[in-house]
Amino acid sequence: MKEEKAAEEGISEEKVDTVYKRLKQEAEKSGYHLNPDVEFTKDLVRGLLTNEERYGYWACPCRLASGNTEEDLDIVCPCYYRDPDLNDYGACYCALYVSDEVIREEKEVESIPERRPPQEEREAARAEESEREEMMETMEISGKLSKPVWRCKVCGYLSAMDEAPGVCPICKAKKERFERFM
């Protein structure tokens, strides 16, 4: 693995270390766990930093990014697939995040199937979503709801406000990763 490390562009060990520590702290604070295999995990952090340089955002290191932010919103780390994968397999697709069972060594981490739908399906889903959003926008909010409800697509946090929060208070995902839910 040495050879790949040397080939990565100008990402110092110190930077990897700093980001790893920050990520670990944030994860633990919100009830998540990073993979306890530190070498493995730091390699993934290196991948995230490489993608940040390449694309300007934390595209998932184990998926092919398009370079188009809107198209890749679902695979910005933490991706929309992390939580369902943690539930089903005990790890996210890259195995950057792992479940309690893995931490307790009751389950082993392995390479898991890809949950992200193929491109055409994703495009169709996006079109449907924006249609729904438009519909909601024009719908009179009846006596039932005094405010629209926004859903964080990373962690499911719901917020009933005129606008989605700038940053998710739970998982720190940015505003563009919220959808109009109700």
Partner 1 sequence: MNIFNQDTDKGKHISGIDKGKVLMYGLSTCVWCKKTKKLLTDLGVDFEYVYVDRLEENEENEAVEKLRHFNPSISFPTTIINDEKAIVGFKEKQIREALGF
- In this chain, which of 26, 28, 100, 114 binds partner 1, going by CB under 8 A? 114
- The answer to whether residue 64 forms part of the interface with partner 1 (CB under 8 A) is yes
- In this chain, which of 73, 79, 95, 171 binds partner 1, going by CB under 8 A? 95
User: Buried (b) or exposed (e) across 10-19, using 16+ Cβ within 10 A?
Assistant: ebeeeebeeb
Q: For partner 1, which stretch binds (CB under 8 A), given 22-30, 71-79, 113-121, 166-174?
A: 113-121
Closer to partner 1 by CB, 9 or 70: give it: 9
Distance CA 28, CA 115 (A): 25
Distance CA 102, CA 157 (A): 25
In the complex, what is the shortest distance from the CB of residue 143 to partner 1, in angstroms, rounded to a whole number? Answer: 45
- The answer to whether residue 69 forms part of the interface with partner 1 (CB under 8 A) is no
Amino acid letter for position 121: E
Please list, in sequence order, all residues whose beta carbon lies within 8 angstroms of the beta carbon of residue 167, skipping any fewer than 6 positions away.
173, 174, 175
Closer to partner 1 by CB, 7 or 144: give it: 7
Distance CA 66, CA 94 (A): 18
Sites for partner 1 among residues 123-182 (CB under 8 A): none
Please list, in sequence order, all residues whose beta carbon lies within 8 angstroms of the beta carbon of residue 118, skipping any fewer than 6 positions away.
none
Burial of 179 (0-12, 13-18, 19+ CB in 10 A): middle
- In this chain, which of 30, 111, 123, 135 binds partner 1, going by CB under 8 A? 111
How many residues in the shown chain lie near partner 1 by CB under 8 A? 32
- The answer to whether residue 14 forms part of the interface with partner 1 (CB under 8 A) is no
- The answer to whether residue 88 forms part of the interface with partner 1 (CB under 8 A) is no
For residue 182 the two structure tokens come to 């109700």
- In this chain, which of 23, 34, 63, 85 binds partner 1, going by CB under 8 A? 63
Residues at the site binding partner 1, with contacts judged by CB under 8 A? 1, 3-4, 6-10, 40, 43-44, 46-48, 50-51, 54, 61-65, 94-95, 110-114, 116, 118-119
